[in-house]
Amino acid sequence: DFGFKHLLWVYSGRRGVHCWVCDENARKLSNENRSAIVSYLALIKGGAQVNKKVHLNKALHPSIRRSLNIIEDYFEDIVLKDQDVLGSEENWSKVLNCIPDDEIIKKLTNKWNSSQSKSSVQKWEELVNELENAANVSGKKFSKKTEQLQSCKFEIMIQYTYPRIDEAVSKHINHLLKGPFCAHPKTVCVPIQPEDCENFDPFNVPTVASVYNELNQYIEGERKVHS
């Protein structure tokens, strides 16, 4: 959307991934320009105490549509199957709290509590069906509620799949970022290839301790060779 071409993706060594935008015009952006770009990209708003963190308009921006096209390819495998986001009441209650209809929440809660054998995929299908049915009924007298019901499915998918952006880090020129291969107190930043990210293992990357041990082994080996 902004014409940037030179992007370097770096695993921080802890929980996050940094995207270094190396284009000259990006590096010269002011704090205000950076803030505008971050606001454009950040769709998830609110901390742990906020249930519903995504709010979409009826007319989706082309950028959001493109994001949803990608999300739809991964949502079932990653969120429903791997993470089993609807597998327990503790987890599914957080998802249901994103729904703007108390009757749907109550109906699905009772249904899922009475049938523990259903998978997250099956529960998601039931959730989507309930939203569509309620939207169709509400749509006969079109209202804000209808819009909310129609958007709810996509809002949940984005909330559980779209990347969370550290806005403070991205807005200010003077905010220090760790460069590739630089050391944190315990970890080391490692560049990654986005097209091969599924094969990247964050638990098998260099740490300060492993680099220290390798260096000591090398020094010890050199001593033996020259002794």
70-104: per-residue pLDDT in tens?
999 999 999 999 999 999 999 999 999 999 999 99
Domain of residue 38 covers 7-42+165-226
CA 111 → CA 43, 66, 106, 107, 204, distances in Å?
Answer: 31, 34, 9, 6, 42
Provide the domain count of the chain: 2
In whole angstroms, give the CA distance from residue 227 to residue 220: 10
Domain end, chosen from 161, 191, 209, is at 161
One domain for residues 155 and 83:
yes
Q: Are residues 82 and 145 in the same domain?
A: yes
- Per-residue pLDDT, 38: 92
Q: Are residues 151 and 91 in the same domain?
A: yes
State the average pLDDT over residues 130-152. 85
Q: Provide the whole-model pTM.
A: 0.84
Residue 14 banded pLDDT, cuts 50, 70, 90:
confident
**Residue 178 pLDDT > 80, yes or no?**
no
Q: What is the CATH number of the domain that holds 30?
A: 3.90.920.10
- CB contact burial 150-170 (16+ within 10 A = b; e otherwise): bbbbbbbbbbbbbeebeeeeb
114 lies in the same domain as 196? no
Residue 2: partners with Cβ closer than 8 Å, 6 or more residues away: 26, 37
Of 144, 161, 178, the last residue of a domain is 161
102 in the same domain as 23: no
Residue 115 pLDDT grade (very low, low, confident, very high; cuts 50, 70, 90):
confident
Q: Is residue 1 part of a domain?
A: no
Q: Is residue 57 part of a domain?
A: no
122-128 long-range contacts (CB < 8 A, ≥24 apart) are 123/86, 123/92, 124/76, 124/80, 124/86, 127/86, 127/95, 127/96, 127/99, 127/153, 128/153
